[in-house]
Amino acid sequence: MELRRIALYGANVLVFVLAVFCALAIRYWVPWPEWVRDVGALTFPVLILGLWFAPLQWLRLRRGVAALLLIGVLCAYWSKSPAPQDWRDLHSREAWVEIDGDRATIHNYRDALHDPGVASVPRWTTQTFDLSAIEGMDLILQPFGDLKAMEHVMLSFHFADGRHVVVSMEARQARGAQFDPLAGFFRRDPLYPELATERDLFWERMARTPPDEIQIFPVRQSPQVVRTYFERILRFTNEVHRKPKFYSTLTESCMTSFINLAPERFASVPWYDLRRWIPGYALPLFQQLGLVDDSLPADELARRNTLPTSVLPPSAFPSDAAWSAYLRNGVIQA
């Protein structure tokens, strides 16, 4: 009898949790009309909980109907694919890559123009990089104010000719939409691997009012390991281009996407280590792994490696490579 009571209690809790989960899943179910999502998010859990808990006749039948409705919604939810949308200008094209030996040609390589107070001007190019000339990479962090857990993580790979490829794993945004970390739990936005110049992705953030912080941390790894990592990211970019997948706040975010693709050193991070899942703890995690400077506390290292707001704009330099060199040699002494 005791086991039966425990099982019934567990079933009740599970039904309640799944009803709430399905309500939020319906709320974020693009591209349904907003009014349908709003009404569905309110009525579905009321229907399920009413069928399951109401003290009326036909309890077993009603609970069977509730279970079938939950199973139907969950099956549809897990089998859905990202929907085509009217993407914002800076997300209108997807990067894809041709790899031929030591040559990697990036199509839809972004090099947008950003000026304070005016709309950004998207620019898309095709650039070829010599993989044998890759020299290293930097961890790039963009803190979100005082919210410790909320940082954006990027990687910048640099080559012997002075050029850099910044990789940013983002949630692809429709025109007029905004990033919502809660939506990342409910399969709303596609994952968007963005490959771009530093003068695009860095200055996009620094040209805002007020400007966002950008922190640059050189990563301690051999060029061979960095090349392996970069090639994994390029192949992953092609996979997403061929078959879109959802951005996930937990398992496929700006942080976890990079950890999933990283060299084997990251395998030493256990799944229960919160720093693996929360971007705001990327720096102390990288320090513990010996991948960035660990001679200073994380807060002090972050302060020293933050680009000042007095940084000259990219327009003052003849090329992206020249601006990148200025950031590292004229602003931050790495």
Measure the CA–CA gap between 118 and 124, rounded to whole angstroms.
19
Structure tokens at 39: 């009404």
72 and 181 in one domain? no
Question: Which among 79, 99, 122 is the end of a domain?
Answer: 79
Model pLDDT, residue 271: 78
Longest dimension (CA), the chain: 79
Tokens in use for 275? 């720093």
Q: What gap in Å lies between CA 215 and CA 321, rounded to an integer?
A: 18
DSSP assignment, residue 117? T
For residues 26 and 71, membership in a common domain is answered with: yes
151 within domain boundaries: yes
Domain stop point among 79, 110, 125: 79
Q: How many domains does the chain have?
A: 2
Check whether residue 145 and residue 12 sit in a common domain. Answer: no
pTM of the model: 0.90
Residues 34 and 98 grouped into a single domain? no
Residues 27, 149: one domain?
Answer: no
Q: What share of the chain is helix, strand, coil (3-state, %, to 5)?
A: 45, 20, 35
110 and 26: one domain? no
φ and ψ of 155, to 5 deg: -125, 140
Based on the domain organization, do 46 and 110 belong to the same domain?
no
Same domain, 28 and 102: no
- Domain with 286 in it: 89-331
Residues 28 and 22: their CA atoms lie apart, in Å, by 10
Residue 142 lies in a domain: yes
Strands (DSSP E) along the chain, which ranges? Answer: 96-100, 103-110, 124-130, 134-144, 147-159, 164-171, 191-196, 215-218
Same domain, 60 and 187: no
Tokens 């039904």 belong to 15
Same domain, yes or no, for 184 and 50? no
Give the helix/strand (H/E) hosting 256: helix 256-261
Residues 72 and 100 in one domain: no
Q: Give pLDDT < 70 ranges for the chain.
A: 1, 145-149, 265-267, 330-334
Give residue 108's identity as a one-letter amino acid code. N
pLDDT score at 325: 94
Amino acid 334: pLDDT: 45
Predicted pLDDT of residue 263? 83
Chosen domain end from 12, 47, 79 = 79
Residue 84 belongs to a domain: no
What DSSP element (H or E) covers 69?
helix 59-79
Query: HSE on the CB side for 81, CA within 13 Å?
Result: 5
61 inside domain: yes
The predicted pLDDT at position 270 comes to 78
* Three-class DSSP labels, 48-67: HHHHHHCCCCCHHHHHHHHH
Partners of 155 in the beta sheet?
A: 139, 167
- C-alpha 111/C-alpha 233 separation (Å) is 19
- Do residues 123 and 151 both lie within one domain? yes
Angle at which helices 34-53 and 2-27 cross, to 10°: 170
- The structure tokens listed for 117 are 């107070």
